[in-house]
């Protein structure tokens, strides 16, 4: 029996990511992963041990390239308005230019999973808590420096999360960047008219180009990571 052929880990993880992305978490089996990664089953277990571990590696890579992963960064209170506006604007462009009508891998997975999914749910839920913590931090700064309509922190964060889930779903039907930005701004207007206005302005300035977006990496590798 011959030795398992060597493979490039980044390449096979990208293939595995596309498999999860196209089939969803529950429908992606070990067999489908092995086939999509083009490796032997023995190589899969020797290198990754489990489907859950592959998924954790995929999410780790994804978090580095998607705007939702940048929400963990801290900025000064004076910058909170522009920071949140850029976050939502870049998420829209990320969906439009990278997702190819498939939405965001993270939000798709969160919509599919529940606590009954055990370890896989915990992998994603930990990242979800990171996002919540980031929104919490920046919302508090926004509250201290800007007029807002929803002053209850929990209500405000839930409003932003629902907006992200909603625009993710809509992007599967319409990948027009300006339209996604407009809908996001409309959704957030009831939260903060000023935040909505800044998002609209950023969307107009950016137009259909991502050249001014500081977080978005549109290299050939990350075009497959949205």
pLDDT value of position 202: 92
Domain contains 225: no
pLDDT at 36 over 50: yes
Domain contains 103: yes
Three-state helix/strand/coil letters over 158-190:
HHHHHHHHHHHHHCCCCCCHHHHHHHHHHHHHC
% of the chain exceeding 70 in pLDDT: 88
Domain contains 3: no
Among 98, 48, 103, 42, which residue's Cα sits nearest to residue 16?
Answer: 48
Cα–Cα distance for residue pair 171/132, rounded to 1 Å: 22
Domain contains 48: no
pLDDT digits (tens, 9 = 90+) for 111-134: 999 999 999 999 999 999 999 999
Q: Are 174 and 180 in contact (CB under 8 A)?
A: yes
pLDDT digits (tens, 9 = 90+) for 133-164: 999 988 888 887 777 777 788 999 999 999 99
pLDDT value of position 211: 46
Domain contains 33: no
Which sign, positive or negative, has the C-alpha torsion 163, 91, 57, 42?
Answer: positive
Better-scored residue on pLDDT, 214 or 202: 202
pLDDT value of position 215: 47
pTM for the full predicted model: 0.84
Domain contains 27: no
Among 74, 61, 93, 127, which residue's Cα sits nearest to residue 204?
Answer: 93
pLDDT digits (tens, 9 = 90+) for 66-108: 888 877 666 777 788 899 999 999 999 999 988 788 899 999 9
Which range of residues forms the domain containing residue 116?
A: 67-215
Domain contains 166: yes
Tally of domains within the chain = 1
Domain contains 179: yes
Collapsed DSSP state (helix, strand, coil) of residue 220:
coil
């Amino acid at each position: 029996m011959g030795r398992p052929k060597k493979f490039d880990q980044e390449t096979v993880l990208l293939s595995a990511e596309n498999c999860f992305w196209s089939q969803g978490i529950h429908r992606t089996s070990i067999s489908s992963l092995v086939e999509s990664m083009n490796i032997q089953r023995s190589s899969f277990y020797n290198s990754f041990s489990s489907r859950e571990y592959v998924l954790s590696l995929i999410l780790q890579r994804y978090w580095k390239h998607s705007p939702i992963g940048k929400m963990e960064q801290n900025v000064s209170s004076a910058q909170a308005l522009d920071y949140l506006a850029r976050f939502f604007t870049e998420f829209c462009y990320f969906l439009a230019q990278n997702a190819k009508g498939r939405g965001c891998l993270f939000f798709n997975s969160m919509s599919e999973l529940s606590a009954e999914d055990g370890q896989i749910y915990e992998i994603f839920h930990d990242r979800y808590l990171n996002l919540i913590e980031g929104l919490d931090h920046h919302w508090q700064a926004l509250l201290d420096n800007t007029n807002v309509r929803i002053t209850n922190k929990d209500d405000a964060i839930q409003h932003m999360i629902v907006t992200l889930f909603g625009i993710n779903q809509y992007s599967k039907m319409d990948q027009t960047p300006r339209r996604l930005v407009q809908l996001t701004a409309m959704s957030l207007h009831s939260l903060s008219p000023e935040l909505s206005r800044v998002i609209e302005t950023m969307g107009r300035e950016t137009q259909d180009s991502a050249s001014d977006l500081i977080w978005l990496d549109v290299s050939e590798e990350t075009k497959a990571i949205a």
